[in-house]
Structure 1
């Protein structure tokens, strides 16, 4: 099979995007998805996303981790998919799409800066040393010192499996910046390594920092290894509403690849 693909990145979080509106892609082929995401023998990406038709929205988002397995919501992937839909002419500057966690809306400007509405977060679990919440995907948020030297892969894997079992959770390590906002590094389940950025993780970190009273800001800049993202929100009882994730989503290249699987 000769497969046409598009490669997008959002603050270094990169994805293989495929227009699957004709439903040709073998969605249960875990080996194929994994091989396409392989950085040595395939295209290389943190995940693969299918854009499909949807009866109630502009399009549907089907997301796979780089291990080939279907996964939960991906914030940066969602933002990249909105930019992709604009490229395909499906939308202009506004979008609605369905994902595993429900319906999302978004706006995109001429520079492909995408503002994505995330799901409301009704509950936040506060523990002595960390915060746990679900922003479309499960996230552990923990403050650390000297984040730049921190061993994210080792400590992230330890918590991902040791604290949360096989199903796991994404693990975020956060440090307040001297200037503004927070720096964040994320270990992603399914990738089983640190990624340059994680949209749902950045969203979780912003809400966690507010919930734990580290900051009283409701418009927060987070610095990832791949660039800056902005999270805005409103407090709603014990949770949060009107949560938005904003940042760049860029086409890197497009091409064709021969798939043997």
Structure 2
């Protein structure tokens, strides 16, 4: 019986199933449905999202991300680190850096001396709104700050925002608490998933909003429920994300 070969990954607790389209045939017309089946925690493998790694004519590979509900997202800061480590260890063992094509453009990723992965996230776009700062770091986030992070009704408000007329296509929702200029804590409600243990684009959005409101320094650590992410927003506008990428296990799915 043939099956689908996969590896299971996480970045700061944000977990993914990775499928390699270099070495096996995948039906591109059914990836959304496949993501829903694979990511279902009781009935599938279980994950926040499905990463599909494909050949690219302009980069080392192309990354596609499907959320647990089957919707496709243009970019994922945690997922791209997992893809980078996978490519560097399974396909490109003679280098420590690579370019990855995403729905938000080409992103460069390199392995740091301490074994983490550094992602060039591009230049953020942002605007203030009555609901909070709207920040696009490859994925669109609404950012708010609170002094009661643990008690914040993230699931209720995150779900309500998906029906808000200002966000006809939905929006990710990041809520943070600033501990000091170089450290913040955050929770994220991700569109198509719900609350996750970490979100790379959300950590970046939080730091951007924190700098704009003069609460955070341009280099700061974001403590999320699943782990730590480091964000750097350079004076020239470039945004960087640094964090881990962990392979949990590999297997074959016969579902």
Compute the TM-score of the two structures, normalised by the length of structure 2.
0.93
CA deviation profile, 1:147-174 (whole Å, cap 9, x unmatched): 0122211121122322544410100011
Structure-2 separation of matches of 1:250 and 1:138: 25
Structure 2: segments with no counterpart, 5+ residues: none
Given candidates 239, 247, 251, the residue that maps to 2:247 is 251
1:80, 1:250 within 8 Å by CA — same for their partners in 2? yes
- Aligned-residue RMSD, C-alpha: 1.7
Structure-1 separation of matches of 2:74 and 2:246: 22
Corresponding residue for residue 117 of structure 1: 120
CA deviation profile, 1:106-125 (whole Å, cap 9, x unmatched): 1114764110110212x320
Corresponding residue for residue 202 of structure 1: 203
SS at the partner of 1:177?
A: strand
SS at the partner of 1:210?
A: helix
2:181, 2:220 within 8 Å by CA — same for their partners in 1? no
1:101 aligns with 2:97: no
Compute the TM-score of the two structures, normalised by the length of structure 1.
0.91
1:171, 1:188 within 8 Å by CA — same for their partners in 2? yes
1:175, 1:183 within 8 Å by CA — same for their partners in 2? yes
1:51, 1:62 within 8 Å by CA — same for their partners in 2? yes
Corresponding residue for residue 61 of structure 1: 63
Equivalent positions of 1:182-261 (< 5 A) are 182-191=184-193, 193-215=194-216, 217-236=217-236, 241-259=237-255
1:233, 1:244 within 8 Å by CA — same for their partners in 2? yes
Corresponding residue for residue 24 of structure 1: 25
CA distance 1:17–1:153, shift in 2 (3 Å) = same
1:175 aligns with 2:177: yes
Structure 1: segments with no counterpart, 5+ residues: none
Work out the number of aligned pairs and report it: 252
